[in-house]
Structure 1
Amino acid sequence: MTQAIVVQTTTGSSADAERLAEIIIQNAKGACVQIAGPVTSIYPWQGAIQKEEEYLVSIKTTRQAFSSLAELIRLHHSYDVPEIIAIPIVDGSSDYMEWLVQSIS
Protein backbone atom coordinates (compact mmCIF):
# COMPACT_ATOMS: atom_id res chain seq x y z
CA MET A 1 0.00 0.00 0.00
CA THR A 2 2.67 2.47 0.92
CA GLN A 3 6.08 3.84 0.15
CA ALA A 4 6.40 4.88 3.79
CA ILE A 5 9.16 3.55 6.05
CA VAL A 6 10.48 4.11 9.54
CA VAL A 7 14.24 4.69 9.69
CA GLN A 8 15.94 4.10 13.01
CA THR A 9 19.24 5.27 14.39
CA THR A 10 20.66 5.73 17.87
CA THR A 11 22.68 8.52 19.46
CA GLY A 12 24.80 8.79 22.56
CA SER A 13 22.84 11.65 24.11
CA SER A 14 19.44 13.29 24.13
CA ALA A 15 21.01 16.51 22.83
CA ASP A 16 22.56 14.67 19.86
CA ALA A 17 19.20 13.03 19.10
CA GLU A 18 17.37 16.37 19.18
CA ARG A 19 20.00 18.07 17.02
CA LEU A 20 19.80 15.25 14.45
CA ALA A 21 15.97 15.34 14.51
CA GLU A 22 15.94 19.09 13.83
CA ILE A 23 18.36 18.70 10.91
CA ILE A 24 16.20 15.93 9.42
CA ILE A 25 13.00 17.98 9.68
CA GLN A 26 14.66 21.19 8.42
CA ASN A 27 15.88 19.28 5.36
CA ALA A 28 12.43 17.67 4.80
CA LYS A 29 13.86 14.14 4.91
CA GLY A 30 11.43 13.02 7.60
CA ALA A 31 7.81 13.88 8.31
CA CYS A 32 8.11 13.14 12.02
CA VAL A 33 11.01 12.21 14.27
CA GLN A 34 10.46 10.58 17.64
CA ILE A 35 13.12 10.20 20.32
CA ALA A 36 12.90 7.50 22.99
CA GLY A 37 15.27 6.73 25.77
CA PRO A 38 17.48 6.23 27.30
CA VAL A 39 17.68 2.63 26.10
CA THR A 40 20.47 0.19 26.88
CA SER A 41 22.35 -1.17 23.87
CA ILE A 42 24.64 -4.20 24.16
CA TYR A 43 26.79 -5.00 21.13
CA PRO A 44 30.25 -6.19 20.06
CA TRP A 45 32.66 -3.44 19.05
CA GLN A 46 36.39 -3.59 18.41
CA GLY A 47 36.77 -7.00 20.03
CA ALA A 48 34.82 -6.30 23.22
CA ILE A 49 31.21 -6.39 24.33
CA GLN A 50 29.95 -2.86 24.88
CA LYS A 51 27.04 -1.75 27.07
CA GLU A 52 25.94 1.84 26.42
CA GLU A 53 23.04 4.13 27.18
CA GLU A 54 21.64 5.49 23.93
CA TYR A 55 18.64 7.34 22.53
CA LEU A 56 16.52 5.73 19.84
CA VAL A 57 15.60 8.04 16.97
CA SER A 58 12.68 6.91 14.77
CA ILE A 59 12.08 8.80 11.54
CA LYS A 60 8.91 8.48 9.45
CA THR A 61 9.89 8.96 5.82
CA THR A 62 9.60 7.38 2.36
CA ARG A 63 11.67 4.80 0.51
CA GLN A 64 12.50 7.42 -2.09
CA ALA A 65 14.07 9.65 0.58
CA PHE A 66 16.06 6.86 2.25
CA SER A 67 19.39 7.37 0.46
CA SER A 68 19.49 11.12 1.04
CA LEU A 69 18.30 10.68 4.63
CA ALA A 70 20.98 8.06 5.30
CA GLU A 71 23.64 10.39 3.90
CA LEU A 72 22.34 13.26 6.07
CA ILE A 73 22.50 11.01 9.15
CA ARG A 74 26.08 9.92 8.31
CA LEU A 75 27.14 13.53 7.78
CA HIS A 76 25.78 14.75 11.13
CA HIS A 77 26.24 11.67 13.33
CA SER A 78 28.97 11.36 15.94
CA TYR A 79 29.36 7.56 15.57
CA ASP A 80 31.87 5.96 13.20
CA VAL A 81 29.22 3.42 12.15
CA PRO A 82 25.74 4.73 12.99
CA GLU A 83 22.76 2.42 12.91
CA ILE A 84 20.67 3.32 9.87
CA ILE A 85 17.95 0.78 9.23
CA ALA A 86 14.63 0.99 7.40
CA ILE A 87 11.45 -0.78 8.47
CA PRO A 88 8.49 -0.83 6.07
CA ILE A 89 5.16 0.60 7.17
CA VAL A 90 2.71 -2.00 5.95
CA ASP A 91 -0.40 0.10 6.41
CA GLY A 92 -1.65 3.24 8.12
CA SER A 93 -4.53 5.68 8.21
CA SER A 94 -4.94 7.29 4.80
CA ASP A 95 -4.86 10.84 6.17
CA TYR A 96 -1.61 10.24 8.07
CA MET A 97 0.05 8.43 5.18
CA GLU A 98 -0.88 11.22 2.76
CA TRP A 99 0.52 13.83 5.18
CA LEU A 100 3.71 11.80 5.62
CA VAL A 101 4.39 11.54 1.89
CA GLN A 102 3.59 15.23 1.30
CA SER A 103 5.99 16.27 4.08
CA ILE A 104 9.05 14.77 2.39
CA SER A 105 10.96 16.58 -0.35
Structure 2
Amino acid sequence: MSQLIVYMTAGSLDEARRIAGMLVEKRLAACCNIFESMHAVFWWEGAVQSEQETAFIAKTTTDRFDDLKAAVLEAHSYDVPCIVALPIVDGNPEFLDWIVEQTRTTV
Protein backbone atom coordinates (compact mmCIF):
# COMPACT_ATOMS: atom_id res chain seq x y z
CA MET A 1 0.00 0.00 0.00
CA SER A 2 1.31 3.43 -0.83
CA GLN A 3 0.31 6.87 0.26
CA LEU A 4 -0.99 9.69 -1.91
CA ILE A 5 -1.50 13.43 -1.77
CA VAL A 6 -4.75 14.33 -3.55
CA TYR A 7 -4.97 17.90 -4.84
CA MET A 8 -8.48 19.31 -5.27
CA THR A 9 -10.17 22.66 -5.74
CA ALA A 10 -13.57 23.97 -4.69
CA GLY A 11 -15.63 27.03 -5.52
CA SER A 12 -15.60 28.29 -1.93
CA LEU A 13 -14.02 27.84 1.47
CA ASP A 14 -17.31 26.42 2.79
CA GLU A 15 -17.43 23.77 0.06
CA ALA A 16 -13.80 22.77 0.65
CA ARG A 17 -14.44 22.51 4.42
CA ARG A 18 -17.59 20.43 3.86
CA ILE A 19 -15.88 18.00 1.50
CA ALA A 20 -12.71 17.77 3.61
CA GLY A 21 -14.74 17.04 6.75
CA MET A 22 -16.70 14.35 4.95
CA LEU A 23 -13.51 12.70 3.66
CA VAL A 24 -11.93 12.56 7.11
CA GLU A 25 -15.15 11.44 8.80
CA LYS A 26 -15.50 8.56 6.31
CA ARG A 27 -11.80 7.73 6.81
CA LEU A 28 -11.14 8.26 3.12
CA ALA A 29 -8.43 10.76 4.11
CA ALA A 30 -6.27 10.91 7.21
CA CYS A 31 -6.13 14.69 7.00
CA CYS A 32 -7.01 17.54 4.66
CA ASN A 33 -5.30 20.91 4.41
CA ILE A 34 -7.27 23.83 3.02
CA PHE A 35 -5.68 26.85 1.36
CA GLU A 36 -8.30 29.53 1.76
CA SER A 37 -8.16 31.51 -1.44
CA MET A 38 -6.50 31.54 -4.81
CA HIS A 39 -7.28 32.97 -8.19
CA ALA A 40 -7.79 30.50 -11.03
CA VAL A 41 -7.59 31.35 -14.73
CA PHE A 42 -8.82 28.55 -16.98
CA TRP A 43 -10.45 27.68 -20.28
CA TRP A 44 -14.13 26.68 -19.93
CA GLU A 45 -17.07 26.69 -22.31
CA GLY A 46 -15.13 28.28 -25.15
CA ALA A 47 -13.61 31.20 -23.24
CA VAL A 48 -11.00 32.16 -20.69
CA GLN A 49 -12.58 32.27 -17.23
CA SER A 50 -11.27 33.78 -14.01
CA GLU A 51 -12.63 32.85 -10.57
CA GLN A 52 -11.71 32.68 -6.90
CA GLU A 53 -11.25 29.10 -5.71
CA THR A 54 -10.13 27.24 -2.63
CA ALA A 55 -7.48 24.54 -3.00
CA PHE A 56 -7.27 21.63 -0.62
CA ILE A 57 -5.20 18.48 -0.33
CA ALA A 58 -5.98 15.14 1.25
CA LYS A 59 -3.54 12.55 2.54
CA THR A 60 -4.75 9.04 1.75
CA THR A 61 -3.67 5.66 0.40
CA THR A 62 -3.90 4.16 -3.06
CA ASP A 63 -6.47 1.61 -1.93
CA ARG A 64 -8.79 4.37 -0.61
CA PHE A 65 -8.42 6.69 -3.62
CA ASP A 66 -11.26 5.33 -5.77
CA ASP A 67 -13.73 5.72 -2.89
CA LEU A 68 -12.36 9.19 -2.10
CA LYS A 69 -12.74 10.25 -5.75
CA ALA A 70 -16.31 8.90 -5.92
CA ALA A 71 -17.26 10.72 -2.69
CA VAL A 72 -15.82 14.01 -3.95
CA LEU A 73 -17.55 13.69 -7.33
CA GLU A 74 -20.88 13.11 -5.57
CA ALA A 75 -20.47 16.01 -3.13
CA HIS A 76 -18.85 18.60 -5.42
CA SER A 77 -20.67 21.50 -7.08
CA TYR A 78 -18.45 21.59 -10.19
CA ASP A 79 -19.33 19.67 -13.35
CA VAL A 80 -15.67 18.65 -13.71
CA PRO A 81 -13.92 18.97 -10.34
CA CYS A 82 -10.15 18.88 -10.06
CA ILE A 83 -9.14 15.65 -8.28
CA VAL A 84 -5.50 14.77 -8.91
CA ALA A 85 -3.61 12.03 -7.04
CA LEU A 86 0.14 12.43 -6.59
CA PRO A 87 2.29 9.62 -5.17
CA ILE A 88 4.32 10.23 -2.04
CA VAL A 89 7.77 8.91 -2.90
CA ASP A 90 9.37 9.44 0.52
CA GLY A 91 8.71 11.03 3.87
CA ASN A 92 8.69 10.67 7.63
CA PRO A 93 7.96 6.94 8.14
CA GLU A 94 5.92 7.60 11.27
CA PHE A 95 3.72 10.10 9.39
CA LEU A 96 3.28 7.77 6.43
CA ASP A 97 2.28 4.96 8.82
CA TRP A 98 -0.20 7.36 10.44
CA ILE A 99 -1.88 7.97 7.07
CA VAL A 100 -2.32 4.22 6.63
CA GLU A 101 -3.70 3.79 10.17
CA GLN A 102 -6.18 6.67 9.87
CA THR A 103 -7.59 5.51 6.56
CA ARG A 104 -8.27 1.91 7.54
CA THR A 105 -11.91 0.97 7.17
CA THR A 106 -11.79 -0.54 10.66
CA VAL A 107 -9.64 1.01 13.33
Q: TM-score range by the shorter chain?
A: over 0.9
Matching residue of 1:40: 39
Per the TM alignment, residue 16 of structure 1 is displaced from its structure 2 partner at its CA by 0.6
How far apart are 1:12 and its partner, in Å? 0.8
Partner of 1:80: 79
Deviation at 1:94, TM superposition (A): 1.0
Letter in 2 for 1:63: T
Structure 1 portions without partners, runs of 5+? none
Secondary structure, aligned partner of 2:74 = helix
The code of the aligned residue for 2:17 comes to E
Amino acid at match of 2:26: N
Tell me, yes or no, if structure 1 residue 20 matches structure 2 residue 19: yes
Alignment-mate amino acid for residue 75 of structure 2: H
| Paired amino acid for 1:97 | L
Q: TM-score, normalised by structure 2?
A: 0.94
Matched, 1:68 2:67: yes
Task: Give the match for residue 54 of structure 2.
Answer: 55
Structure 2: segments with no counterpart, 5+ residues: none
1: CA distance, partners of 2:36 / 2:16: 10
Summarize deviations over 1:14-55 as a string: whole Å, max 9, x none: 111100111001100000100003111111000010111100
1:19 is matched by which residue type in structure 2? R
- After superposition, what is the alpha-carbon deviation per residue over 1:72-102, rounded to whole angstroms, capped at 9, x for unaligned? 0001000010001001111111110111101
Displacement of 1:8 in angstroms is 1.1
Q: Give the distance between the partners of 1:30 and 1:92, measured in 2 at CA.
A: 17
- CA distance, structure 1, for counterparts of residue 67 and residue 15 of structure 2: 19
Percent of aligned positions with the same letter in both sequences?
A: 35
Residue 85 of structure 2 aligns to which amino acid in structure 1?
A: A
Corresponding residue number in structure 2 for 1:8: 7
Q: What is the CA–CA distance in structure 2 between the aligned matches of 1:90 and 1:50, rounded to whole Å?
A: 34
